[in-house]
Each structure stands twice: as C-alpha cells, then as structure tokens.
Amino acid sequence: MTKITELIKKMTLEEKAALCTGAGPWTTTPIEHLGVPEMTVTDGPHGVRRSEDVTAFVTKSVPATCFPTAACMASTWDVDLIHKLGEALAEECIALKVDVILGPGANMKRTPLCGRNFEYYSEDPYLAGQMAVSFINGVQSKGVGTSLKHFAANNQEYQRSTISSEMDERTLREIYLPAFETAVKQAKPWTVMCSYNKINGTYSAENHKLLTEILKEEWGFEGLVVSDWGAVHDRVEALKAGLDLEMPGPRERRVKAVIEAVRSGELSESTLDESVRRVLEIVFKASETKKGGSFDIAGNHALARKVAAEGMVLLKNNGILPLKGQQSIAVIGRAAKEAYYQGGGSSHINPTRVDDPFEELQKLAGNARLTYAEGYLKDEGNDQTLIDEAVKNARSANVALLYISLPASKESEGYDRPDLDLTRQQIMLIKAVTAIQPNTVVILNNGAPVVMSEWISGTAAVLEAWMMGQAGGGAIADILFGKVNPSGRLAESFVSKLVDSSAYINYPGENGQVRYGEGVFMGYRYYDAKQIPVLFPFGFGLSYTNFVYTNPKASAETFKDVDGVRVSVDVTNTGKVAGKEVVQVYVHDNKSKLARPPKELKGFAKVELQPGETKTVILKLNFRAFAYYHPAYKQWITEDGEFDILIGASSADIRCTLPVTLQSTLELPSILNRDSTMREWVEDPRGMSVLAPLYQLLNAQMSANFGSNEIGMDPIGFLMDSPVMSLLYFMGDAMTTSPEELVDEWLAKVHATD
C-alpha cells in the first residue's frame, strides 16, 4: 500500500487518466519510468481465448482447452470439480501469459430465450453463487485473476447495450444480486465487470449505487471495476460512479475528458486517485505470478471430459440405457460427426483438440455395427432425403442414437433465441425415426432449454448433453455405454412451452425498457407459486441407480437466526451400480409479512455412493437461508415463526420435510406512518403498546356503527385494513384532538426509541 501511495504521488495527471483506460483491446497502460507493467486480460469463462496479437481486437486465438460451458458446469452441482476446472484454467493462463480471465458469468437465467444463457450458471441465485465461488477460488488459487460478470441484471441480449432493466429493490436484492454478492464476499475476485445495460434508467457503468454504494461499500469489494468492452458512455460520470478501468483502449478522447474534468473541478482528483490505486494494486498483484511455460494438454482434456459427463443430464430413460449387447446401432445426426460443443461470441475457444462423437462411440461399442446418416442440414433448411436415409438405417438397427444440435443461428452472444424449438427438420427427423424404431435415444447439444412436447413421447431416452466442450463427444459415449453413471441435475427449469416461462409477458420490453414484472417469482419460484407443470423441474436428473432418503434431522427444532441450523439426512444407494446423488435443501416460510416463493434453494451436496452404501449428508443453513429483503427497512430481515426445511432430489421431488421454528434476533425500527393501517399498527409491537388504550374503543365504535350490517360490511375486516387516521374520523364527538395531531403524537412515541 505504501509503495502504491508513493507511486500515485509521482504520477502526472495525464498518467493517472491513461492508466484508467486500456492501452489496447486486451492490455492495460504501462508506465515504464515508474515500473508499472502492463496487465493482459482475455476472454473466458470456459477457456482461455488468448489472441495471438494482443494489439488486435479480433484475431485468431492460440489453442487452449475448451471446457464445457457454464450451463453444463452448473449442472454438475459439484463445487469441488468446478474448483479443479478453475485451477486448470489458471495454469493455461499462466502458460499463455494471461493475468486475468474474464469470467465467470453469474447472471440469472430470467428467460430461456437469452442467447447468452450457455455462459451463465442458473436461474437460482444460490446455486449460481456457489458455482461462481468455486470457479473464482480455483483460478485465483494459482495467482491468476478473474472478472466476475456482467454486473448486473444483464439477462437478455436483445438491445443489451441500451435496454433498461426495470425492477423493484427487493427483486434486485433477492434474485439478481445475491450470486454476485456471494462471490464477492466469499471468493474476492480481482475484478468485477459491469454490464452494458441500464438498471432503472442508469447505465451500469455510471451507476454509483451499484458500483460504489453496494459493491464497494456494502459488500467490501477491494478489487477494480472494469467495463464490459464498450459499455462506457460518459467516462467522467463512470469514474464518479466507481468504474475504475475502461476497456478496450486506446481511448485518447476519454483520457483527455478525464484530464479536463479534473482541471475544471468537475471531477475530484481524489476520486481519480482511488481508481488509480485499485488498478495499480491488481496490476502489481498480477505481476507477482511468473508467466510462460506449458500446460497439461492431455490432462486438461481428460478433465474437460469428466466435467462434461458430470454435467450431462439424463432426462428420460425407459431402461434402454446404458446400452448393452446391441448388434447394430444407427447413429443419426450431423452432431455425431461435427461436435457442437461451444457457443458463438466472445467465449469462442480455439480448442487443443475435439473428440469426434462417432469415433468415441466406436471405441466403446465393441462388436456392434455402427451406421451413420446425416439426418438434417447445418442450417434451418429441410431435406426429406436425409430423413429417408435416417429412417432406413434406424429400421434395420437394434437402437437409434439421434444427435441433435441447434444451429448457431438459434443461440449465440449478441442476439436472443426466437423460440425454444428445434429446427423443423430436426423435429420431423425425430418423429420419423421414433415411429419405426422404439429404441431411439435423443442426445441434445444446446446451451439452454428446448421444448420437447411434440416428440418426446416416442423416444426411449433423452440425454441433455449441453454445449459440452471439446471432450464432450467422449463423455456422451461414457454415459451411453454405462462407463459413467449420469449424475447431472438441471440448473434451470425446462418448460413445456414458451408461454409458460416466468418472464414471458414481460419480455423483451418496449420503449427502451424491460419490466421485471414477475418480481422475485422467477424460474421454479414462479412455477411453484402458479402451480404450472413443467416438462422437467429445476434440480431434476435421472441415474442408472436409485437413492433412498431416511433419518432426516435438524440440529434444533427451535433456533435463533444468528445461530442457524444444521440439517442432516441419510442417503442410500439401493441399486446395483455406483452413482452420485445431489441432495437439495429448500426452505419454505409458513408466514411472512411480504409474499415469498413457496420454496427456495438454500443448500446442496453431491455425494457418491457404492451399491448398498449409506452416507449422512450434513448441511448448515445460516441467517440468509431464512431471511428476505424488506425494502421498507432497506435490509435483510428474519421474522419469528415456523419454517419447513424441504430435502429432496429436485424442486418437485421433496423426500423429507422438517418443521422448525425460528427466533429472530433483529430489533427493527418501526416503519409506521400516517397512512399505516390498523393491522400494521397492531402487528408492530411498539405501535400496539401505544394504540392499546384506544384499540378497544375503536373496535367498539366500529361495531356500533356497523353492527346491524345493513350495508353488508364486515366491521372487523374494515377496521383492520383501514388507515388508523381514517378510522379516527368515525369516532365523531369522542375525539378531543384532531386525527392528524393524535396520530402524529402516537408516531412520536413509537419512533422515540428508534
């Protein structure tokens, strides 16, 4: 710190301004005479996209391992495995001379149409937060930095650079910020990247509340805030808001604008110095890790295969899988020979190698005869001859494997999906093949959910293989032939049809705004509350074995919020093969002042079990597991009362329920005001103590006035949900003081101790 303080004193205003803007597309500005090196960053998050020429914005990248995308990573529900993936990414960064990798992406999957959903973890903030923590800790354990992105509420590609995400404070705090908050507090990323969009009318890059008040002051973020590439509109306002580093560079006019703003007094030099300090600290931290050398190409490819297999989700299986003893297998679909393993855009990796799915099948198929048919075109066109050939092969085989991948035109960074469908040719292909071959397995390669109602009933099995990374072809073969028991679980709900999705009527927005009208009821929270059936629920996934949950326990039936509670359950593998189960813990609040979702994920653990083996899974639920954000108090609160702790295999498959009672330790200030209703006064301990002498009088007065019920009114209901000030007017001559004066007197007593 002393070294950096002295450096800042030696820097000219011009050098300070230049340091806060990139020197090029991927590097920061060095100051050679002061010994300040440049720092190199590169795209991620599922591979190192290191440009051969860091001075060029778009150029060929050097070979690196293409790991599965975030949608697949999150479906592993395995924090230890994601930590190992982070370590491997860091080792490749070191070898390729990269200081900071731009990832992970912790944005919520608000709508399944978002073209960039393959880069994001989940529709649930708790799961996304835990994945982000493991990724960041893995990378930074090796002395390489991360950039947590895109902060915040960047949940669609449609008009992403200008759209304003309009939402209330509670929705922002409970759904769209927690994954970032968890990652910042628990993993301390070196950098946080702001998003392109506006939040409630203010660009993220210029949002003081977001970047300074919440991120830096409230959460204690100590790193630097970097812009997404081209997200800054007003450099001076961005600096005032807490945006430390603008990328990409060079931006000569931006630098001059900062210099002029300081000289004119528009921008305090101390504000600029603070950003300079943050940039210097990360630049010097990055320089401590020696760069260069090589990385384990084969080892990382094997790790990519493991992650892919752990993240693939078996959605349907009538017993056809794992494949055993088939004499002939019809392999159908372009994706069987042209692996579809990553999405388009800034995360596109130049892989070290790519497994050919068909060849990987051949390696494990033994003496089975494999045939191949293309099945569908690369784009969205139709060709009946391809379907006819596929049907012919399927008819003469014991089993058909349909490899189905979405075309790049359907999902990518930069634009949203037009629908949740496969192409028309692919749907026709699946229906034609399943009509003559009941033993048909569909393998899906996509970055986000697809609807299946039109064709799934005819299939024997469906495997969600995601954008699976360069080794995904081998991972599919491992699962199909039982070398790996599938253990992936969905990190997002699969709806039956697009209109069921929680954001449907509030997407994509209009007049430059998208209203988050569903509030905190997003994803499975919405489907639970509305009792809308989904095709596959959040947390769902099949295995080749079965698991039984027994002996659920809570460490206390009654506990204080600050102490939390431990939950345990015994899980037994009752099948004949080893497997992994994901134990999921949800919390249901039986009664709260504000509406809450029926259940929310608050803990999970992935456990491996041999046949007949039992293990006890123990999870700790803390204060935040039971709290919600109350906008009137401007903080997270708990309330005395009963909760249900739900332990299950998915959000829709709850195996055990534990009733517990929480005792809140919070001493909240009163939020009563002139407009507060009788119910609000009665439910407020201080309000009731002040109001008690008159409560019975008001009650009696209302009963007398409306006792005959001639106008069909429930006097008590009217009493409780009417403002106290309004009720006082009904007392007539019994009042010796005006209602306004009396209510103000009561409020003074109530707030005297706040």
CB contact burial 411-434 (16+ within 10 A = b; e otherwise): bbbebbbeebbbbebbbbbbebbb
Q: For residue 101, what is the enclosing H or E element? A: strand 100-102
Cα 30 to Cα 22: distance, rounded to the nearest angstrom: 9
Helix-, strand-, coil-residue percentages of the chain, each rounded to 5:
35, 20, 45
Q: Which of 98, 155, 9 is nearest to 448 (CA)?
A: 155
The separation between the first and the last C-alpha atoms of the chain, rounded to the nearest angstrom, is 40
> Residue 526: helix, strand or coil by DSSP?
helix
Given 78, 99, 228, 478, the catalytic residue: 228
Cα 525 to Cα 628: distance, rounded to the nearest angstrom: 14
Cα 142 to Cα 190: distance, rounded to the nearest angstrom: 13
Say if CB 7 and CB 32 are below 8 A apart: no
| CA atoms 405, 407, 408, 410: torsion sign | negative
Give the number of other Cβ atoms within 10 Å of residue 358's Cβ: 20
Cα 81 to Cα 204: distance, rounded to the nearest angstrom: 32
Contacts of 210 (CB under 8 A, 6+ apart): 151, 152, 194, 199, 204, 241
Question: Could you give the dihedral angle defined by the CA atoms of residues 251, 256, 257 and 260, in that order, rounded to the nearest 10 degrees?
Answer: 170
Pairing of strands 513-515, 461-464: unpaired
> Residue 399: helix, strand or coil by DSSP?
strand
Cα 730 to Cα 240: distance, rounded to the nearest angstrom: 53
Angle separating helix axes 297-311 and 472-480, nearest 10 degrees: 50
> Residue 127: helix, strand or coil by DSSP?
helix
Residue type at position 746 = W
Q: For residue 694, what is the enclosing H or E element? A: helix 685-706
Cα 472 to Cα 301: distance, rounded to the nearest angstrom: 10
Give one DSSP letter per residue of 197-216, joined into a string.
SEETTEEGGG-HIIIIIIII
Alpha carbon of residue 540 to chain centroid: 17
> Residue 649: helix, strand or coil by DSSP?
strand
Give the number of other Cβ atoms within 10 Å of residue 140's Cβ: 21
Angle separating helix axes 79-95 and 297-311, nearest 10 degrees: 150
Angle subtended at Cα 294 by Cα 292 and Cα 299, rounded to the nearest 5 degrees: 145
Cα 29 to Cα 12: distance, rounded to the nearest angstrom: 14
Say if CB 133 and CB 43 are below 8 A apart: no
Residue 228 a catalytic site member: yes
Tokens 């439910």 correspond to: 683
Give one DSSP letter per residue of 272-312, joined into a string.
HHHHHHHHHHHHHHHHTS---S---HHHHHHHHHHHHHHH-
Tokens of 272: 């600029």
Tokens of 205: 């890059």
* Active centre residues (catalytic): 228
